[in-house]
Structure 1
Amino acid sequence: MSYIVGVTGGIGSGKSTIVDLFAELGVEIIDADIVAREVVAKGSPLLGKIAEHFGAEILLDSGELNRQALRQIVFERPQEKVWLNNLLHPAIRREMLHQLAQSQSLYVLWVVPLLIENDLTAFCDRVLVIDVLPETQLLRAAKRDQNKIVLIKKIMASQVSREKRLSVADDVVNNEPELSQNLPYLRQKVLELHYQYLQFAKEKTKNNA
C-alpha cells in the first residue's frame, strides 16, 4: 500500500485548488467526494434506496441525484441526516479503502472533508490541513454554491472546529485569499510538500522491506 497523506479542510477552504496542484505533479488522488458521487450514480442500488426513502423530488429530470435538494433536507432534519449517513458512509468507506489498497504509487493523497470527524486519521501516515479563517469559509462557500448563509453555518457547525483540525495536522497550507490567488506561491508550497512526502514514502518502503 502507498504512503497515505490524508487531506482535509472545512467547507470553503479551497481543498480542490491545492489538490489540483498535486495532481499536476502526477500524484494519485483518491477523493471522498468523487467516491460519494460514484456510489449514488444513476441507476445504482443506493440511489434507489435514497429515492424510495425521500421521494422522487431528490432526483433530477435526468434520473441523477439532486445533491442540493438532498443537502437541504438533511441539514433541516437531523434524523434524516443520520439515516443517510448510516446508508452511505459504510459504502463510501469500503470503496475508498479498496482504492487505497490498490494504489501502486509511492504516495497517494486521500482527500476527505470529514477525515477527522469520521475517525479516518488512523489510516493515514500523515495529515495535511488546508486552512482558512471561518469568515473566509462563509464567503467562499456562499459564492461557489450559491448556498444560503444559514445552511453553510449549519455545515460548518457539523464539522470539527478549526482549532481541532489544526491540532491534528502534520502539515498546513494557508489558503487565505491573498495567498490562494498567488499561484507561484502555492505551487512552491505544494512542490516542497511533494518532495517531502516522496522522501517519507521511500523511508517507509525501505523500513518495511
Structure 2
Amino acid sequence: MTMFKVGLTGGIGSGKTTVANTFAAYGVPIVDTDLIAHRVTASGGTAMHSIREQFGSTFITTEGAMNRTKMRELVFNNAQAKQLLESILHPLIRIEMDREMQAISGPYVICVVPLLAEEGNWRKRVDRFLVVDCAVQTQVANVIRRNSFTCKQVQAIIASQATRQTRLAVADDILINEINRSLLPQIALLHQLYLYLARCSIPLQRRILSNV
C-alpha cells in the first residue's frame, strides 16, 4: 500500500520545523528536504564534487563542506548561479528523499519541502499540500530572533521565495501560526484528517484551520 504523503511548506521563519516536530510527536514520520540538503552539501556529501567543479574552492569550507554563507550571498544576487546550484542539489535531494521514504512506515508521512510552491512537480509527488502561514512581519521577527540576521537580510530571503499569496493559492490545508493562535489544536485536527484520508484515500475540500 502506498503511503499517504503530505507536503509541508511555508516561508522562512513561518514555523515549519515546529509544525513538523509536533506531527513527529504523534509518531508521524518526517522527511525533511532541508536536512537532506545539509547532508549532501556536508563534507563528503554527494553534491560536493559537482559544487567544487562548478563554483570553485571559494565556496568550499576548510572542512570540505559547502560554504553556505558565501553560496547564499551568490545565489541571492545571481539567478543563473541559483539555477545551477538547484540543478545539482534537487536531483540528489529527490534520490535521498525516495530512499528515506522506502525505509519508513505508517499511515502517512510529512514531507517538509521549503520550495514546494515554487516547483510544480511536487504536486505529482505528494497527495496534499499543507502551508504554514503567518504575516511577513512575523517571519522577519522570527528569523532575526533565531538567526541574528538583519532585517534587510531576512527581507532579501523572503523576496527570493514564493510569495505568501502563491503558497496559499496551492494549499489544501493552512495552519495559521500567529501570536495567540496555538498550533496544537490545529495540528491535532489535521492529524485526524490525514489519518482518515490515508485510510480512505478520499480527497476533501481545502480546509483553513485557525484558532478562532
Q: Which amino acid aligns with 1:35?
A: I
Q: Which amino acid aligns with 1:23?
A: A
Structure 1 residue 125 corresponds to structure 2 residue 122: no
Q: Which amino acid aligns with 2:134?
A: V
* Greater Cα shift, 138-147 or 33-42: 138-147
144, 156, 160: which one aligns with 2:162? 160
Q: Tell me what 2:25 maps to.
A: 24
Compare relative contact order (CA 8 Å, sep 6+) and give the higher one, 1 or 2.
Answer: 1
TM-score, length-scaled by structure 2: 0.85
Say if 1:143 and 1:55 are closer, same or farther in 2 by CA, change over 3 A: farther
* Identity over aligned pairs, percent: 38
188, 191, 194: which one aligns with 2:191? 194
After TM superposition, the structure 1 = structure 2 runs for residues 35-54 of structure 1, keeping only pairs within 5 Å, are 35-54=36-55
179, 200, 203: which one aligns with 2:200? 203
Q: Tell me what 2:67 maps to.
A: 66
Please say if residues 131 and 168 of structure 2, whose CA atoms lie closer than 8 Å, have aligned partners that are also in contact: yes
1:19-41 alpha-carbon deviations (Å, 9 max, x no partner): 11111111000111011112223
CA distance in 1, matches of 2:86, 2:151: 23
After TM superposition, the structure 1 = structure 2 runs for residues 80-159 of structure 1, keeping only pairs within 5 Å, are 80-119=81-120, 120-159=122-161
Please say if residues 72 and 151 of structure 1, whose CA atoms lie closer than 8 Å, have aligned partners that are also in contact: no
Please say if residues 75 and 151 of structure 1, whose CA atoms lie closer than 8 Å, have aligned partners that are also in contact: no
Q: Which amino acid aligns with 1:122?
A: K
* Greater Cα shift, 143-152 or 10-19: 143-152
Q: Shift of the alpha carbon at 1:45? A: 4.2
Structure 1: gaps of 5 or more residues: 180-184
Q: Aligned with 2:5: secondary structure? A: strand
Q: Shift of the alpha carbon at 1:57? A: 3.4
Q: Shift of the alpha carbon at 1:101? A: 4.7
Q: Aligned with 1:177: secondary structure? A: coil
Please say if residues 131 and 172 of structure 1, whose CA atoms lie closer than 8 Å, have aligned partners that are also in contact: yes
1:72-122 alpha-carbon deviations (Å, 9 max, x no partner): 121122221111111111211232234335542110001101101011123
1:24-66 alpha-carbon deviations (Å, 9 max, x no partner): 1110001110111122231134212213333333333333222
Q: Which amino acid aligns with 1:154?
A: A
TM-score, length-scaled by structure 1: 0.86
TM-align CA RMSD: 2.0
CA distance in 2, matches of 1:177, 1:64: 37
CA distance in 2, matches of 1:110, 1:147: 27
Say if 1:45 and 1:160 are closer, same or farther in 2 by CA, change over 3 A: closer
Q: Shift of the alpha carbon at 1:162? A: 1.1
